[in-house]
A = this chain, B = another copy of it.
Amino acid sequence: MHKVEYPLLDETVYYEKMQNGLQVILIPKPGFAKTYGIITTDFGSIDNHFVPLQSDSEIVVPDGVAHFLEHKLFEGEKHDAFDDFSKLGSSANAFTSFTRTSYLFSATSKVEENIETLLDFVQEPYFTEEGTEKEKGIIAQEIQMYEDNPDWRLFYGLLKNMYPKHPLSIDIAGTVDSIQAITPEILQTCYDTFYHPSNMNLVIIGNFPVEETMVVIRNNQDAKEFAKEEHILRFIPSETISDLTAHDEIEMDVKRPKLIMGVKGLTTQLEGNESDNYYLKGSLLMEMLFGRGSDNFNTLYDNGVLDDSFNYSFTIDRSFNFMALEVDTNEPEQVIKEWKNILLNWKNDSSFTAENFNLLKRAFIGEQLQAFNSLEYISNQYGYLYAAGIEMFNRIERLETLTLEDIAAFAEHYINEQVISTFIVKPKKGSNV
């Protein structure tokens, strides 16, 4: 076990890598009532093409396996994991993203039992033909529900424009068709490869005794057997700058048109703190150009071009990154023109000053410090970021060192007309507006 202190944040973090490769991270928060346990595997929806553990040849698995596996793990041979947590008076949850799957509990007592339950249900899979078939119906409904959601369609419409070959443009849950091909064998192969302890981390945050808890985890892990650790080789289709559709649109039953604009990043191999610094730069750039305090936002808002439905974000993860801007607007063409103009002329933007940058940076640091007070935020983010090689608690220090010149170099490199794409969900013609 080694200990890292973050005096600036008054946080202490304990790390220990188990014999089997599992990375354990304990973050004690003595003043708090709740404890969260979260186990994360570096396996998400984009990992559909890889060389399985103890194999030489690559395989392609049906879209949606990571999410399917997340559902199936809760079903044990004798009991359902949700029930187990219920009996302990705690609650469980899980989520699958493009790149990772996490399982968590939150408890106010019996922390040790909760940790053991979490480790056991995730590490003792139980796949049957019958259970797999039954799950297909449940997940198909989930997929169809999302397909009726205009915001979801808007987002995936943009992803499809920007990433026509990359598995990012496929729904995390897969498609109603793709999941039909999932079998217990496929689940087992993915499980063996990506749920190997060396591809996972466990974070415990809250009110618990550090030494004793580590002993509980060590004992639990030592009693289980796993195959030898191997590097996982993953494949993605090769994309170029021209693999981007500049614009597309669909009609749905919405009252006002929904518009999304994306700026696709071409630098895709970043990881760890490099990747997080890229995130910070992209986020700060967007804040300067489009933030609620920017001249751009205020002008567009005052002119009635934008309203409070406006939102913007910078997303970065394993093998992709992009900026996104979205709004509900009756004048999507005008908004596209305005946004493009702002992006392409960032250099002459009235908000692009050292003074403004320093203000925004301070605000950003403030928000981040605020977030670090939330157990929920930390438990949701820490393991996710850790799996990406990112040290969350030194983000403030990394933020401090950023300069306006860094943001300028980022913008210079990131923004150009060829990587901009837009997607619109339009009201159906003849529908009631």
Chain A residues with a Cβ under 8 A of chain B: 49, 58, 60, 165, 233-243, 266-272, 274-275, 318-319, 389, 405-406, 408-410, 412-413, 416, 418
Contacts and interface: CB of A to CB of B under 8 A. Distances in A.
A239 B269 CA distance: 6
Nearest to A410: B413
Contact of A269 (B235, B268, B413): B268
A412 B405 contact: yes
Contact of A237 (B234, B272, B274): B234
Contact of A235 (B49, B268, B270, B389): B49
A238 B241 contact: no
9 contacts: A234-B237, A235-B238, A238-B318, A241-B269, A241-B272, A241-B274, A268-B269, A274-B418, A405-B412
Copies, count: 2
A318 to B, nearest CB: 7
A406 B413 CA distance: 9
Nearest to A319: B238
- In this complex, the member of A269, A270, A418 whose beta carbon has the largest number of chain B beta carbons within 10 angstroms is A269
Contact of A241 (B165, B234, B266, B270): B270
Contacts of A235: 49, 235-238
A208 to B, nearest CB: 32
Contacts of A58: 60
Q: Which 6 A-B pairs have the closest CB atoms?
A: A409-B412, A240-B271, A266-B269, A267-B267, A409-B409, A234-B238
A242 B271 contact: yes
A301 to B, nearest CB: 31
A237 B233 contact: yes
Given A238-B318, A405-B412, A409-B413, 11 more contacts: A235-B235, A235-B237, A236-B236, A240-B269, A241-B269, A266-B268, A266-B269, A268-B268, A274-B416, A274-B418, A412-B413
A16 B412 CA distance: 36
B272 A242 contact: yes
Contacts of A412: 405-406, 409, 413
A275 B416 CA distance: 13
Contacts of A408: 409
